[in-house]
Amino acid sequence: MIPSLPEPLEPLRELAYNLRWAWDHDSIELFRRLDTDLWESTGHNPVLMLGSIDQMRLVSAAADDSFLAHLERVSRALESRMGQNSWFRRVHSPAGKLLVAYFSAEFGLTECVSIFAGGLGVLAGDHVKSASDLGVPLVGVGLLYQQGYFRQYLSQAGWQQEEYVTNDFHNLPLRPLVRPDGKPLTIEVQFPDRAVTARIWWAQAGRVPVYLLDTNVAANSRADREITGELYGGDNEMRLKQEILLGIGGYRALEAAHVQPAVYHMNEGHSAFLSLEHVRRLMERYQLSFPEARELASPSLIFTSHTPVEAGHDYFAPDLMGHYFTEYYRGLGLSRHDFLALGRRNAGDHDEQFCMTVLALRLASSSNGVSKLHGEVSRRMWKAIWPGVPADEVPIGHVTNGVHYRSWISNEMNQLYDRYLGPQWREAANGVIWKRVETIPAEELWRTHERRRERLVAFARRKLRDQLKRRGAPQSEIEAAEEVLDVQALTIGFARRFATYKRATLLLRDTERLKRILCDAKRPVQIIFAGKAHPRDGGGKELIQRIVALARDPEFRRHVVFLEDQDMAISRYLVQGCDVWLNTPLRPLEASGTSGMKAAANGALNLSTLDGWWDEAWRTPRPDSELIGWAIGNGEPYNDPGQQDQVEAEALYDLLERDVVPTFYALGPDRLPRRWIAQMKGSLKNLCHTFNTHRMVREYTERFYLPAYERFARMEADSAAAARALASWMSMARCEWPQVRVEALEEGPAGQAKVGDLVGVRARLRLGALAPADVIVELYLGALDAAGELVQPASFPMRHAGSPGNGEHVFEATGVPCCRSGLQGYTVRVLPHHPDLAARFVPGLITWAS
């Protein structure tokens, strides 16, 4: 059954099935015009809305000239956005047949398509939206969960409960892919003793299609139909089955749909099995061995890690991997040991579990964290994969996350930016345009923000009243919900996943001091909390229970609210209406965090510990007079988490008492908080041009996608001739590397060299059967600390200076500057060199002078 639309309204069908409406205020307003209440009750789902609306309302709209004009305007805007004019075509038009396949276990495209749990999925959705806006040729690949993530509600005791609501795919903005005969398009993935079938659905998000796999089909057993039942549901074996389906099944789904990507981007380790399927298909296509196909596949594989928390990475027992992959790895020509080594930090440790992140890091040519700090943490976390490589040089970079502004900025702020910044602000990444924020009149900016706070308070009261009714609260408590919060009070928002390291209750550590801050009659403060704990995270649930208990305390009731079942709609109200966005993760466990970016784009000020993106934003140079928010602490390391909690809680209270609250309530003669508004403008000018997904996707495109496409094309040419040659060379290099050693260092720097002197070093090496052109030899020079370790070292190339015989080679570096005084040290290292190597460091191939 499909909606029945009068002919003049037929364009509504195309609009409903293209998710671009989710980030276009004019499109949303069009659907609201049909029936505002139905728009809300259907969960902002235009497909369900059009199938449920009273037909007479449609007939009336079809005869309404004003509505039809609005419909035509929105339809033309969609047609224009689907056209060829885009940033990518303007800047990279000769990019050939680049197509990127972006794999993610979750996609947060819009609240009515519930196939995401939190930040990872929302980031993936924002990545897709910016790729659409910028015209980057990209497709998404994920799983279509029958029940998605859980719905949260609280018991009378304030304990989180979970319920799962079944997604009705036929009433969502999704369509099934079909074969030419009209039957559903499906793929198969081999599991032990059986094949599992998956149907392919697709969602169109602007220019970008997102393909989603669904195993709830008649061909499968009841157990296999549950593989796509719940996001992150079930035990470790269920997780493995989901990730096999995502990686291997997703790759096959693209083939079945005749989609031919040149580059594959793994968003977290969940999809890392696609790298093995990519290798397998290249082996078949070009008749390659596994090592040859691996060298061919690697340049086209990109991996992004999203968590520095060890528990956030997937590990599977060797026996479980053997159960599901024995036939698969035999087909690759691998032994059990060699296959499991692909997912182990220490390839020789037979007891180590198989890690999806390690698999991705070993096979991808480019890997990155999601903030500058997370890149540093990731290099330390995974350095064992590259033994002998200094942590600072481990080949894991960073691309700082962003947010898709059109999805998160309020309509009022959208209009304000259009009026004073010009329509180019939607490109988001232009710092010159964002400096125009200074032209926005202070009163207009403040009144716009106040209207959003008023709407947030009204929304929070409605939500609180509804959840109290569901909970069976006393009538007096339900009626009191109408009086919580104050539309003029300083409003703090805290909304994120309730993992213990995010420390949602840090602010509650000293309730007496908190009471003095919140309940000041002249300068009241209020806090709105929202967020879910993982169903198996008892510690996270306890944090929620503690907040709910405080919110019930008569002294706090008007100042503290917890909103149940956080989703994208609740998040939008919060980031658009709060004055301050609070973030208190335990450094350095927050990889990036993006909620604060959304709040900042709406004019809120961040109050956060120096972790994730905020560490980067806070430390970015800016004019001293331009404040952007507040930092809790200085990012100092602590050995005792309890002490860290105490120190940072005190710092948080101090900031609120001495800076945040006084600044908010310091009104001028015109009743405007001028200092606060100045900080709002400073935040907008300094943050918005950087912390957005338009900048992020451009960075991925230019730093990773396009170079990967070019490398892969070069390696694939002439039936993969370059990949075959590289694999042969790598085999020889691995075989000969044990013979590589530095025999002696000669003519080192003089003991009393002066700053500015030029020094030289000579070294005698043995290379086995390798030629001098097969290696890079470097002088490694830096200051020495008290432990005799090099501090902030630099490397300088050494050139081949001759072969005196006996299998020795001499390399030398000359004209190396002495840049600073003090005790200096140096050594020499040897790396493999081949013009087609995708990475500077190859695991296990580095030799240092003794």
- At 230-255, the pLDDT tens digits run 999 889 999 999 999 999 999 999 99
Query: Is pLDDT larger for residue 2 or for residue 780?
Result: 780
Alpha-carbon radius of gyration of the chain: 29
Whole-Å CA distances, 403 to 128, 211, 264, 311, 504: 11, 22, 22, 25, 22
Once rounded to an integer, what is the mean pLDDT over residues 615-622? 93
pLDDT in tens, 284-323: 999 999 999 999 999 999 999 999 999 899 999 999 999 9
Once rounded to an integer, what is the mean pLDDT over residues 714-725? 97
Task: Give the strand pairing for 175-176 and 194-205.
Answer: antiparallel
Over 189-254, what HEC string results? Answer: EEECCEEEEEEEEEEEECCEEEEEEECCCCCCCHHHHCCCCECCCCCHHHHHHHHHHHHHHHHHHH
Q: What are phi and psi of 145, to 5 degrees?
A: -85, 130
Whole-Å CA distances, 183 to 209, 259, 729: 20, 19, 48
Task: Give the strand pairing for 790-805 and 775-784.
Answer: antiparallel
Q: Which single residue is written with the structure tokens 């009626």?
A: 479
- How far apart CA 264 and CA 277 sit, in angstroms, is 11
Q: Does residue 750 register a pLDDT over 60?
A: no
Concatenated DSSP letters of 360-396? HHHH-SEEEESSHHHHHHHHHHTGGGSTTS-GGGSS-
Question: What pLDDT score was predicted for residue 493?
Answer: 98
- If one counts every other C-beta atom within 10 angstroms of the C-beta of residue 500, the result is 16
Residue 604: what residue type? Answer: A
Once rounded to an integer, what is the mean pLDDT over residues 620-637? 90
- If one counts every other C-beta atom within 10 angstroms of the C-beta of residue 182, the result is 6
Residue 28: what residue type? Answer: I
111 pairs with which residues across the strands? none
Instruction: Tokens for 581, please give them.
Output: 């966005």
Choose among 613, 631, 634, 745: nearest CA to 692: 613
Angle between helices 273-286 and 356-363 (to 10 degrees): 40
pLDDT in tens, 650-689: 999 999 999 999 999 999 999 999 999 999 999 999 999 9
Once rounded to an integer, what is the mean pLDDT over residues 474-480? 89
User: In percent, how much of the chain has pLDDT > 70?
Assistant: 98
Once rounded to an integer, what is the mean pLDDT over residues 411-437? 91
- Least confident range from 314-318, 631-635, 779-783: namely 779-783
pLDDT in tens, 511-538: 999 999 999 999 999 999 999 999 999 9
- How far apart CA 408 and CA 114 sit, in angstroms, is 18
Instruction: Tokens for 159, please give them.
Output: 């304990």
Concatenated DSSP letters of 541-569? HHHHHHHHHHHHSTTTTTTEEEESS--HH
pLDDT in tens, 269-282: 999 999 999 999 99
Choose among 691, 831, 5: nearest CA to 386: 831
Q: Does residue 396 register a pLDDT over 60?
A: yes
- How far apart CA 610 and CA 613 sit, in angstroms, is 8
- If one counts every other C-beta atom within 10 angstroms of the C-beta of residue 836, the result is 16
Contact 515, 552 (CB under 8 A): no
Whole-Å CA distances, 74 to 14, 24, 361, 419, 767: 11, 9, 44, 20, 68
